[in-house]
A and B are shown apart, each in its own frame.
Chain A
Amino acid sequence: TQLLEQSPQFLSIQEGENLTVYCNSSSVFSSLQWYRQEPGEGPVLLVTVVTGGEVKKLKRLTFQFGDARKDSSLHITAAQPGDTGLYLCAGVYNQGGKLIFGQGTELSVKP
């Protein structure tokens, strides 16, 4: 069974604080994706990490792929209310089109 454990499930912070979301598995992925979903909408792709040890930055968001390609993290610096939403990690296997999602992290950033 391919499982992705995402933590924390819920996070409520003040504007300006930093936070990290973790995504862990015992399986190796060909790549890993991070999505953000707002209420009433489908998930929107933020980034794909492919190489073990890879780090990608998207403005205040930093994504890291573990060396063994089994885990990943999302770090947000100086969070803003506009960052509020559900953050999802998804593992991609060499099977084309099938994503295994973590449970998601519900982030609330209060002004």
Chain B
Amino acid sequence: KAGVTQTPRYLIKTRGQQVTLSCSPISGHRSVSWYQQTPGQGLQFLFEYFSETQRNKGNFPGRFSGRQFSNSRSEMNVSTLELGDSALYLCATASAANTEAFFGQGTRLTVV
């Protein structure tokens, strides 16, 4: 059974640009959550999608958005990048039946 796949693994962007990150869940998992991990703030919840609908949202500005497709794959987008957006972005997926999350390896985003 394949794990959670996040692409790309590494990304370098310039301030003001926008970026799209992708997450392919474990087969059968319909819940996809996104987290931002930084040394200062730790792991912070961005949002969660379930069956193509945003079910939960964290306290991040509107520059952070996401979507989920009918095959449960999810993308998150960050517009007008700021230096402070440099972080490891993690995707976690779960089945509908429980909340035990399985994480991908993350996308390391560096904004210069």
Contact = CB atoms under 8 A, between A and B. Distances in A.
A51 to B, nearest CB: 15
Interface residues of A, number: 23
A4 B59 CA distance: 16
22 contacts: A31-B99, A35-B103, A40-B105, A41-B105, A42-B104, A45-B100, A45-B101, A88-B43, A92-B99, A96-B56, A96-B99, A97-B31, A97-B33, A97-B48, A97-B50, A97-B94, A97-B99, A97-B101, A98-B48, A99-B45, A99-B92, A99-B99
B33 A98 contact: yes
Nearest to A42: B103
A77 B43 CA distance: 27
Given A42-B104, A44-B103, A97-B94, 14 more contacts: A33-B101, A40-B105, A42-B90, A42-B105, A88-B42, A88-B43, A96-B50, A96-B56, A97-B55, A98-B33, A99-B92, A100-B45, A101-B43, A103-B42
A99 B42 contact: no
Contacts of B33: 97-99
Contact of B102 (A41, A45, A90, A99): A45
Contacts of A42: 4, 90, 92, 103-106
Contacts of A100: 45
Interface string B6-46: 00000000000000000000000001010100000011110
Contact count band on B: 20 to 34
A80 interface: no
Interface of B: 4, 31, 33, 35, 42-45, 48, 50, 55-56, 58, 90, 92, 94, 99-106
Tell me what chain B mostly uses at the interface: helix, strand, loop, or mixed: strand
A48 interface: yes
Contacts of A99: 33, 35, 43, 45, 92, 99, 101
Nearest to B99: A92
A41 B48 CA distance: 20
Interface string A77-111: 00000000000101010011111111110000000
